[in-house]
Amino acid sequence: MRATAWIQRHRFAKGLMVKGVVITGLSLVSLTMARAAEPRNWLSAPKPTQKPGLREKSASSAGCPAPAIPDPLLGPRTKMPGRWIGRTKAPLNLPIVVMAGHADSQGTGSSGTPGFAVDKRRQPPMQAGIRDELFWNRQVQAAVVRMGRSRGLNIRSYTPPAITILDDEHPGTNWSKAKVWSARGEYILEIHFDAYRPHGFGSGLIPAINRPLNSVDESLGSAFGRFPRNFRGGLGGPRRGIGILELAMLEPPLEDKLRDQATRSQTVDCLAERVVDALVKGLS
């Protein structure tokens, strides 16, 4: 979760700051890769030429465990008392923007969880310079957009211009982009993994605060669980239109399947499939 105080970010940040953005070698590499992968996704949503026809399932769902309680893929849901209901019907061609949580706050007090493997087993992080949560957030983000497009969703991703942006109001942060895009009616979904037990709560959606909740919120809440809308007094992301989706706690057995190269791709796809299934259901 993002820290609200700039001074807390400033205390932990490292690197060269230019207009509120800390530029590191890793930042520049990440930015170059992101721009190469998403050359048309930086400023505005694509304009669909026709109403998309949503497809219920894709071939990637083969071999994925079916949703259940307790869930064999996600583990426990949050037990926080989220009692909200999404009542507004979302349009079929709703523009959806998928963000990776903590993509602009590395090296600060809100970098995301390092995960059980790094913290408790002393294993090396998946990528030097970033928390494991961001690494996996990015993997699922990319898979959700890829699968969503294949099933007819009007969906795209956003990647900030640097992995450390100290100024929350910098125009390139997830928060700033979400505020603008949410105001024009786009649905903003930020992918997260929760901390491992006993620190984490489990899977669930923390919905946006700045707008009426809709059928997509309701579908995600049914599929993953519901955090209170005013969780921790109202987080900065939801106040700007971001729905924060905690996929699962970053701990075994899920984390082991993610880290194992033999099961990594399938596990990421199964997580993404759960998200896309919920999006499609919320728009159908």
Going by pLDDT thresholds of 50, 70 and 90, the confidence category of residue 126 is very high
Measured between alpha carbons, how far is 270 from 126 in angstroms, rounded to an integer? 20
In the numeric block, which tokens belong to residue 172? 């390139």
Query: Which domain does 271 fall in, by range?
Result: 6-39+86-283
Q: In what order do the strands lie in the sheet with 164-165?
A: 16-18, 21-23, 164-165
* Length, in residues, of the chain: 284
Residue 226 contacts by C-beta under 8 Å, 6 or more apart in sequence?
A: 78, 80, 82, 83, 84, 204, 205, 207
Give the pLDDT band of residue 69 (cuts 50, 70, 90): confident
- Is the previous residue joined to 81 through a cis bond, with omega within 30 degrees of 0? no
Residue ranges with strand state E in the chain = 16-18, 21-23, 96-100, 155-158, 164-165, 187-194, 204-206, 242-249
Give the confidence band of 35 by pLDDT, cuts at 50, 70, 90.
Answer: very low
Residue 71 CA neighbour count, 13 Å, CB half: 22
**Residue 264's domain is classified under what CATH number?**
3.40.630.40
What is the spatial distance between Cα 250 and Cα 199, in angstroms, rounded to a whole number? 11
Which of 66, 225, 48 is closest to 153 using CA atoms? Answer: 48
| DSSP-assigned letter for residue 165 | E
- Give yes or no for a cis peptide into 124 (omega within 30° of 0): no
Count CB-CB contacts under 10 A for residue 133: 24
Domain contains 46: no
pLDDT at 214: 98
Domain count, the chain: 1
Q: In the prediction, which pLDDT does 10 show?
A: 37
Q: Percent helix, strand, coil in the chain (nearest 5)?
A: 35, 15, 50
| pTM of this structure | 0.82
For residue 269, the one-letter residue type is D
Tokens describing residue 36: 């190469």
Burial class of residue 3, CB neighbours in 10 A (0-12, 13-18, 19+): middle
52 within some domain: no
* pLDDT at residue 50 is higher than 70: no
Helix (H) or strand (E) run with residue 36 in it: helix 25-37
Is pLDDT at 155 greater than 80 in this prediction?
Answer: yes
- When pLDDT is cut at 50, 70 and 90, the band that residue 5 belongs to is very low
Domain assignment present for residue 70? The answer is no
Q: Is the pLDDT of residue 234 over 50?
A: yes
